[in-house]
């Protein structure tokens, strides 16, 4: 019998999951998306561990590597790597390409979407904004429902049973790390930045430090794509529009702009290049969050009822399940899609077992990303006070 999997949300994670399930025997995929075109041009980076071919290369990240070793058992990692090796060559080639550097988000989305359409096994697509009720009424006995609708997840509040109906954020744990401006620009010369560079180019910036992300610069043969972040206060965040350009920043937040400009002047002095075009700036809260329950296993455990979620598995994937700042979310989402596709392919696996395994997996990924994000934030905090020993000591807790 064919198993039907409904994937709601065709962002990067929903699309990858669909492409993985499309070639799974005995599985038919129904993909729903509300947008009619892919317009998000922001440059994103995928983690090299996504295409690692050994445990050693999977643990290559200096902050993440130890956590991976502590959290995952070697056989788990071996199984994940074996699954990656089995991914169809057309899809695997795309992943290899993206993991090499920066890529516009919409080009990832378009390539996946085109790959799905070009393949022989068809996927049923619905172009509509799905409501929670729609999602529930799609579910026939034996179906699986996967919510890949991103950070404002459609079903995160619905996967747990509550007597009075879903309660907003009742199933979400959020850690707000900071508010930040994400500043992106193109630069007409090769440019790279390590920790020494971040320090020296910010030496004259006591308050706002412009911090290019490690590995967040990429030279494509003609231009460097540079992304950096500047921490701002909650009040500054509230006073800014969500997206603006360099001119707005210079007029409305001159102190932040001066720090950024000083940093950019230093780059120009060193490499004799020019900024190409304008700066693109977004202000975002850097939140780390997870769904306390990434599946509806509590509904199943509560026993049979009229509610559709008490009968069929429902799982959250990608930003619906875990969201993290510091540019690692898509990679985590892709990993959750791969794990889910492996679970769905095991046709003899009971629904409860599938949900338990997925919950454990998501919890382990949460521990991993929580530790990595807290460590990055801590390092950034220390960096802010690097020239003030007393302020620095205030932030250190040694033993
Ligand atoms: C400035 C910025 C820079 C970033 N840079 C990086 C980076 O370098 N690396 C990285 O890993 N991550 C980065 N991220 C995060 C990354 O963009 C997200 O983690 C990623 O897009 C999440 O993918 P997703 O598929 O889970 O969700 P989304 O990309 O949010 O996709 C969800 C999809 O579901 C659809 N949808 C939502 N609701 C419904 C509904 N009711 N019915 C039908 N469809 C629906 C949406 O239209 C969308 O297509 C960045 C984020 C920001 C803001």
pLDDT tens figures, 121-138: 789 999 999 999 999 999
Task: Using the predicted structure, report yes or no on whether residue 358 has a pLDDT greater than 90.
Answer: yes
Of 110, 316, 319, the one to substitute when testing ligand 1's pocket (max ligand atoms within 8 A of C-beta) is 319
Q: Please, what sign has the CA dihedral across residues 379, 384, 389, 393?
A: negative
Q: How many residues does the chain have?
A: 399
Q: What is the residue with the minimal CA distance to atom 8 of ligand 1? A: 44
Distance of CA 235 from the midpoint of ligand 1 (Å): 26
State the sign of the Cα–Cα–Cα–Cα dihedral 91, 93, 98, 104. negative
38 Cα to the center of ligand 1, angstroms: 11
- DSSP assignment of 285-315 equals EEEEEEES-SB-HHHHHT---SSGGGTS-EE
- Which residues surround ligand 1 with Cβ inside 6 Å? 8-14, 32-35, 42, 44-45, 105, 129-130, 148-150, 154, 182, 282, 284, 318-319, 327-331, 333
End-to-end CA distance of the chain: 59
Cα of 386 vs centre of ligand 1, distance in Å, is 34
Whole-number Å distance, alpha carbon 303 to ligand 1 midpoint, is: 34
The residue whose CA has the least distance to atom 45 of ligand 1 is: 9
Q: Which atom of ligand 1 is nearest to the CA of 184?
A: 1
Q: With bands split at pLDDT 50, 70 and 90, how would you rate the model's confidence at 139?
A: very high
Distance 171 CA to ligand 1 centre (A): 19
Residue 282: beta bridge partners? 182, 243
Residue 31: C-alpha distances to residues 155, 164, 209, 354 (Å) = 16, 30, 43, 21
User: Which pLDDT value is given to residue 392?
Assistant: 94
Is the pLDDT at 172 greater than 80? The verdict is: yes
Which residues does 190 contact at the CB level (< 8 Å), separation at least 6? 219, 224, 271
Q: In the predicted model, is pLDDT for residue 304 greater than 70?
A: yes
pLDDT at 54 over 60: yes
Ligand 1 centroid from CA 40, angstroms = 9
Per-residue pLDDT at 205 exceeds 70: yes
Point out the ligand 1 atom lying closest to the alpha carbon of residue 154.
41
Which amino acid residue places its CA nearest to atom 27 of ligand 1? Answer: 150
Please report the DSSP string for 114-144 in residue order. Answer: HHHHHSSS--EEEES---HHHHHHH--TT-E
Atom 20, ligand 1: residue with shortest CA distance: 330
Average pLDDT over residues 19-46: 93
**Closest ligand 1 atom to 182 CA:** 1
Residues 6+ apart with CB under 8 A from 9: 32, 33, 147, 148, 149, 150, 154, 318, 320
- Determine the distance separating the centroid of ligand 1 and the alpha carbon of 117, expressed in angstroms: 21
Give the span between the Cα atoms of 209 and 194, in whole angstroms: 14
In the prediction, which pLDDT does 218 show? 61
- Reported as a single tens digit per residue, the pLDDT across 98-117 is 988 778 899 999 999 999 99
Q: How far is the CA of 113 from the centre of ligand 1 (A)?
A: 15
* Helix (H) or strand (E) run with residue 282 in it: strand 275-291
Give the pLDDT band (50/70/90) at residue 29.
Answer: very high
Residue 174 predicted with pLDDT over 80: yes
pLDDT for res 220: 66
């Amino acid at each position: 019998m064919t198993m039907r999997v409904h994937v709601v949300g065709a962002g990067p994670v929903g699309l990858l999951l669909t492409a993985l399930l499309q070639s799974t025997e005995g599985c038919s995929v129904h993909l729903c998306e509300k947008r009619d075109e892919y317009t998000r041009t922001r440059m994103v980076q995928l983690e090299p561990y996504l295409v690692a071919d050994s445990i050693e290369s999977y643990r290559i990240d200096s902050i993440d590597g130890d956590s991976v070793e502590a959290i995952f058992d070697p056989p788990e990692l071996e199984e994940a790597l074996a699954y990656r090796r089995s991914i169809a060559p057309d899809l695997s080639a795309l992943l290899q390409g993206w993991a090499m550097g920066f890529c516009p988000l919409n080009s990832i989305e378009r390539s996946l979407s085109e790959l799905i359409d070009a393949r022989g096994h068809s996927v049923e697509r619905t172009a509509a904004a799905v409501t929670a009720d729609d999602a529930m009424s799609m579910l026939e006995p034996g179906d699986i429902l996967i919510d890949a609708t991103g950070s404002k997840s459609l079903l995160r509040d619905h996967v747990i049973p509550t007597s009075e109906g879903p309660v907003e954020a009742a199933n979400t744990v959020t850690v707000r790390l900071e508010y930040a401006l994400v500043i992106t620009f193109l630069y007409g010369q090769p440019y790279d930045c390590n920790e020494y560079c971040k320090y020296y180019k910010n030496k004259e910036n006591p308050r706002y430090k412009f911090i290019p992300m490690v590995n967040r610069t990429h030279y494509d043969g003609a231009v460097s794509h540079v992304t950096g972040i500047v921490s701002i206060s909650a009040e500054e965040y509230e006073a800014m529009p969500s997206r603006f350009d360099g001119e707005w920043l210079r007029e409305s937040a001159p102190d932040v702009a001066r720090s950024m400009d000083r940093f950019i002047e230093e780059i120009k002095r060193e490499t004799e290049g020019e900024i190409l075009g304008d700066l693109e700036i977004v202000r975002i809260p850097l939140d780390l969050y997870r769904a306390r329950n990434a599946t509806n296993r509590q509904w199943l455990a509560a026993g049979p009822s009229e509610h559709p979620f008490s009968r069929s598995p429902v799982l959250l994937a990608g930003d619906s399940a875990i969201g993290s700042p510091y540019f690692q979310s898509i990679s985590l989402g892709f990993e959750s899609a791969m794990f889910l596709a492996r679970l769905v392919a095991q046709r003899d696996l009971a629904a409860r077992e599938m949900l338990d395994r997925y919950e454990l997996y998501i919890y382990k990924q949460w521990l991993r990303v929580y530790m990595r994000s807290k460590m990055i934030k801590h390092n950034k905090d220390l960096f802010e006070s690097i020239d003030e020993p007393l302020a620095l000591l205030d932030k250190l807790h040694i033993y």
